[in-house]
Amino acid sequence: MKHKILVTGGLGYIGSHTVVELQQSGYEVVIVDNLSNSTIETLAGIERITGIKPRFENLDCLDYVGFDYIFERYEGIRAVIHFAASKAVGESVQKPIVYYRNNVNGLMNILDLMPIHNVKHILFSSSCTVYGQPDSLPVNEDSPTKPATSPYGNTKQICEEIIHDVIHSGASMSSIILRYFNPIGAHPSAEIGELPIGVPSNLVPFITQTANGLHPELKVYGNDYNTPDGSCIRDYINVVDLAKAHVISVNRMLEKEQREALEIFNIGTGKGVSVLGLIEVFEKVNQVKVPYSIVDRREGDIEQVWADATKANKILGWKARFSIEETLQSAWKWEQKLRQKKEA
């Protein structure tokens, strides 16, 4: 029998890619999403890739009673992957309560309902943002977390602590927390990808839109950092590779292979790439120009961070497979597809 997995935020960027991988690995998926940052068309994209239309419920994770009913309706859910959250760092500074309510209360509802319905496993989406600017690089899971520089970042730290406390209380539950570095790219089929709403604040969607003529130029935030070319360094992880880490983590929880009831893994490539380096690779592999200029540093930016992903490599047996070249090709293919759709 197929195991049933509840995926909150399953129509979002990382969620949709994970649903594809789960279905391709034989899991039955139930998606809960309130479409606050996604569209229903993504469901068809998932179906075109996998041949399976996942069950979908348009519901807000803040709706406790509604969520209770979902667990009843889809009896036998074995694990929850909780992606649903608000994620725009800048917006979180403007609307902290919205972010704390959505990200923290959503998780608390789920943690509260899981034991009532005998659901014992939860996988949580965290972020390398919890490390701030690490004292040494690459950063591993034992590196200290730093005070968050935005309400969004703080919600990730608070949520991690809540999960820790629930597990520590002796709840009959296990959890894996994945700390993602910078997810980029799209499914190679270009059937699903990132849907930035409004002007993107993340680098890769801004690059692809600029290459497509939607913006006159990209602003590179600073070239006076203490890095080889002066621009910031990140660990850009392919979204399909990231999605696969979720499937492995779910297998691990269900197969009871966890060494501890709460495990934390960095999910990154282990390689740092600079902003200017990324632009160069993008232009080269896609044979397209990205006009850019150097401007002042962006407030709150970390100078450089990349993952020590040894723990995930060894314990999960997971490794990033896609090259940065392939990933940036997939991002460009997706951008072109998006524009075609908008023009049609």
Binding residues (CB under 6 A) for ligand NAD: these are 8-9, 11-15, 32-38, 60-62, 83-87, 102, 106, 125, 127, 180, 183
Q: Closer to ligand WQD by CB, 27 or 181: give it.
A: 181
End-to-end CA distance of the chain: 42
* Residue 202 in the binding site for ligand WQD (CB under 6 A): yes
Are 207 and 290 within 8 A, CB to CB?
A: yes
125 binds, among ligand WQD, ligand NAD, none (CB under 5 to 8 A by kind): ligand NAD
85 binds, among ligand NAD, ligand WQD, none (CB under 5 to 8 A by kind): ligand NAD
Burial class (CB in 10 A: 0-12, 13-18, 19+), 128: buried
> What's the min distance (Å) between Cβ of 205 and ligand WQD?
8
13 binds, among ligand WQD, ligand NAD, none (CB under 5 to 8 A by kind): ligand NAD
Q: Of residues 131, 152, 180, 225, which has the active-site annotation? A: 152
Q: Judge whether 13 counts as a catalytic residue.
A: no
Of the candidate spans 17-25, 133-141, 202-210, 327-335, the one that interacts with ligand WQD by CB under 6 A turns out to be: 202-210
Residue of minimal Cβ distance to ligand NAD = 12
Of residues 260, 9, 7, 306, the one with CA closest to residue 131: 306
Q: What does the alpha-carbon distance between residue 83 and residue 106 come to, in Å, rounded to a whole number?
A: 10
The DSSP-derived string for 30-91 is EEEE--TT--THHHHHHHHHHS---EEEE--TT-HHHHHHHHHHTTTEEEEEE------HHH
106 binds, among ligand WQD, ligand NAD, none (CB under 5 to 8 A by kind): ligand NAD
Q: Residue 168: what are its φ and ψ, rounded to 5°?
A: -65, -25
Residues in the chain: 344
* Residue 206 in the binding site for ligand WQD (CB under 6 A): yes
Question: Residue 5 corresponds to which tokens in the numbers above?
Answer: 């997995």
27 binds, among ligand WQD, ligand NAD, none (CB under 5 to 8 A by kind): none
Of the candidate spans 25-33, 134-142, 199-207, 259-267, the one that interacts with ligand WQD by CB under 6 A turns out to be: 199-207
* Residue 218 in the binding site for ligand WQD (CB under 6 A): yes
* Residue 143 in the binding site for ligand WQD (CB under 6 A): no
Q: What does the alpha-carbon distance between residue 306 and residue 310 come to, in Å, rounded to a whole number?
A: 12
The CA-atom distances, in angstroms, between 206 and each of 17, 91, 200, 335 are 21, 17, 6, 10
Of the candidate spans 23-31, 114-122, 215-223, 322-330, the one that interacts with ligand WQD by CB under 6 A turns out to be: 215-223
Question: Residue 68 corresponds to which tokens in the numbers above?
Answer: 């209770």
**What residue ranges bind ligand WQD (CB under 6 A)?**
87, 89, 127, 129, 182, 201-203, 206, 218-221, 232, 234, 275, 298, 301
